Structure 1
């Protein structure tokens, strides 16, 4: 199974959102990483066949997805950043409505809905109106609708936004198991959500795919550039002004342990440590705010 993206571009008047992207997605979980404005959402909307590319095409096992039409939509699941629903819908009503739109056989609808409600811990709120749910619960309803038709290709834009840490762990485990013999593409700024489950990651910058690889392959480019040391708390402001500090933790005796990115040691006593995917993200996107990313 493969989803082949060939020379895909999308232009809006004087802006090119996606610029000549070629990428072949195979079975497993794929992370799509990039800062705001990188073109991730536009790329996913074209993969979902709800936005027509300016140039290029996408092929599922050799067939143009646009020409496949309904056949492609039947094997596709999509969670956008914001999914639409009527304010009068309860969770159960909404999922039944979406199952009908996706042509899920009536005899299978209840079983599939109950299964997803159970996995996503929504059974207790299935009769509540979606509009009255918390942000995390609404996100879980969105995940459920994307998976109703047991898709062969599942694309999710910021699926864990609003989920608490425990819910994110359950989601990762569920997706890791679900991805066997399926293609799952996840765009997220919560890098830890894909770091340990992604088969491969694609990094997008300025509308282009700039790198593709496993987490271990990608982080090699910043080996020797991630440092840690302990400094007096009174000096933290001074170092924050000139260093790319990515983590800090208060210690005893008014000391602070910091983790920073640099080509060389900037503080006496610094030692290099193994890089993580989040370190690479912040190295490539130094202005990124991990609390606000997601487009």
Structure 2
């Protein structure tokens, strides 16, 4: 089982959204990490066959997905950032409708819907209209519809948007179990979504894949660049203007403990720290920290 992304490019007039991306995905959870606007959604839409690339192609087990057509859709699951639904549909109605589109029999769909609603904690509101659901509950409905046909390839675009921390943990556990013999690609800018469950990660910036590897390998890109120090709270503003801050903790004695990124020690008495995925992300995408 192999999904090959072969030199894929998407050009919009004067902007190149995806630029010569090549990846070979094998079973397991793959993280596609990048800031908003990096080209992740465009890449996923091409993998899903919704958009045609300007050049390059996507192959599943050596065959282009355009050639596979329905056979590819039968083994494919997709959760876009926004999914459409009829306002009058209940959760149950919507999932039965999607199951029919995916070719499941009535008996298969009812059984599968029951299992998935329990897994995403929606079985007690199955008859509630989707239009009346909270953002997090709508996202869980989207996750359920993507899993309906037990796809061999599952692509999820910002899947945990709107989910609370407990729901995110359940979702990560569900994906880890599901990805045992399937290809799962998660696009996100939320590092914790993939840090502990991804078999491999790809980092995307300005339409290009700039690095791939396991989490332990990738974080070495910022080895020796992560520091912690205690400072007087009155010094915090000055240092925030000079160096990227990862975390700021208020101590009981009035001091502030900071975790920061720099090529060399900036704050006297700083201690070198083991790098994490969040450190790497903020090193590569410093503008994200400013937005947050």
Give the alignment of 1:231-250 within 5 angstroms: 231-250=231-250
Give the alignment of 1:169-184 within 5 angstroms: 169-184=169-184
Q: Give 1:253 shift.
A: 1.5
> Residue 58 of structure 2 aligns with which residue?
58
> Residue 125 of structure 2 aligns with which residue?
125
On the 8 A contact 1:190/1:290 being kept in 2, the answer is no
> Residue 206 of structure 2 aligns with which residue?
206
Instruction: Determine if the alignment matches structure 1 residue 188 to structure 2 residue 182.
Output: no
Q: Give 1:264 shift.
A: 0.6
Q: Normalized against structure 2, the TM-score is what? A: 0.98
Q: Give 1:291 shift.
A: 7.3
Distance across 2 between alignment mates of 1:120 and 1:82: 18
The SS at the match of 2:253 is: coil
The SS at the match of 1:18 is: strand
Q: Give 1:221 shift.
A: 1.2
On the 8 A contact 2:36/2:189 being kept in 1, the answer is no
The SS at the match of 1:195 is: coil
Distance across 1 between alignment mates of 2:289 and 2:245: 13
Distance across 2 between alignment mates of 1:41 and 1:158: 9
> Residue 79 of structure 1 aligns with which residue?
79
> Residue 272 of structure 2 aligns with which residue?
272
Q: Give 1:281 shift.
A: 0.7
The SS at the match of 2:194 is: helix
The SS at the match of 1:21 is: strand
Distance across 1 between alignment mates of 2:188 and 2:5: 20
Distance across 1 between alignment mates of 2:244 and 2:57: 40
> Residue 163 of structure 1 aligns with which residue?
163
> Residue 38 of structure 2 aligns with which residue?
38
Q: Give 1:195 shift.
A: 0.3
Q: How many residues align?
A: 292
The SS at the match of 2:20 is: strand
In structure 1, runs of 5+ residues without a counterpart are none
On the 8 A contact 1:223/1:275 being kept in 2, the answer is yes
Q: Which deviations, in whole Å up to 9, do the C-alpha atoms of 1:235-264 show, x marking residues without a partner?
A: 111111111111101111111111000001
Distance across 1 between alignment mates of 2:44 and 2:54: 14
Distance across 1 between alignment mates of 2:7 and 2:189: 25
> Residue 153 of structure 1 aligns with which residue?
153
Q: Alpha carbons of 1:181 and 1:164: their partners in 2 closer, same or farther (altered >3 Å)?
A: same
Q: Which deviations, in whole Å up to 9, do the C-alpha atoms of 1:52-109 show, x marking residues without a partner?
A: 0110111100111111000000000000000000111111100000000111122211
Q: Alpha carbons of 1:146 and 1:169: their partners in 2 closer, same or farther (altered >3 Å)?
A: same
Q: Give 1:290 shift.
A: 8.7
RMSD, matched Cα:
1.1
On the 8 A contact 1:189/1:290 being kept in 2, the answer is no
The SS at the match of 1:180 is: helix
Q: Normalized against structure 1, the TM-score is what? A: 0.97
In structure 2, runs of 5+ residues without a counterpart are none
Q: Which deviations, in whole Å up to 9, do the C-alpha atoms of 1:118-171 show, x marking residues without a partner?
A: 000001111111111111000000000001000000000010111111110011
Instruction: Determine if the alignment matches structure 1 residue 26 to structure 2 residue 26.
Output: yes
Q: Alpha carbons of 1:29 and 1:291: their partners in 2 closer, same or farther (altered >3 Å)?
A: farther
Q: Runs ≥4 in structure 1, deviation > 2 angstroms?
A: 289-292
Distance across 1 between alignment mates of 2:190 and 2:284: 15
Distance across 1 between alignment mates of 2:17 and 2:257: 40
Give the alignment of 1:218-229 within 5 angstroms: 218-229=218-229
Instruction: Determine if the alignment matches structure 1 residue 10 to structure 2 residue 10.
Output: yes
